Amino acid sequence: MKEIISSVGKLNHIAIAVPSIQIASDMWKKALGANISAPQILTDHGVKVIFVEAPNTKVELLEPLNENSPISRFLEKNPNGGMHHICYEVKNLKSASKKLEAVGARILGDGLPKIGAHGNPVIFLNPKDFSGTLIELEEIE
Ligand code: CO
């Protein structure tokens, strides 16, 4: 059997679900002096997103676009917002997916990559397999 070579790279971002991206990003800016990106609408993911830049990583603030958004369901349980997922960079999503499958870790949805906020393919892993943490893997070449 060929060895599957795949391991996580840098922490790309930490995502926080918020009821209002405007209020949240104002606070990050005013209180923490953080640089904030322009907002983006990601229809596929049902979210509006803003990136808060830090020297070594980013915080992604996520506001639901509508009530069908997965972020809406998260905010029902966490009305003030809260940590939603962390994102690791990987070199190759295909080999990462194979490795996950080999150890019985589950990919959410149909298991196929979608295009994420940075225009790169991403997958999300079942939080039940990772101590309650939703993990996003983003392919960075
Ligand atoms: Co993300």
> What local confidence, expressed as pLDDT, does residue 7 receive?
83
List, for the chain, all residue ranges whose pLDDT scores fall below the cut of 70: 1-6
31-66 per-position pLDDT tens digit: 999 999 999 998 888 999 999 999 999 999 999 999
Say how many Å lie between the CA of residue 14 and the centre of ligand 1. Answer: 7
Say how many Å lie between the CA of residue 58 and the centre of ligand 1. Answer: 10
Distances (CA, A) of 141 to 9, 30, 43, 67, 123: 11, 34, 24, 34, 15
Say how many Å lie between the CA of residue 1 and the centre of ligand 1. Answer: 33
Q: Could you give the residue numbers annotated as active site?
A: 136
> What local confidence, expressed as pLDDT, does residue 48 receive?
95
With beta carbons less than 8 A apart as the criterion, state whether 125 and 134 touch. yes
Residue burial 31-50, b: 16+ Cβ < 10 Å; e: rest = eeebebeeeeebeebbbbbb
Token couple for 130: 């990772």
Say how many Å lie between the CA of residue 59 and the centre of ligand 1. Answer: 9
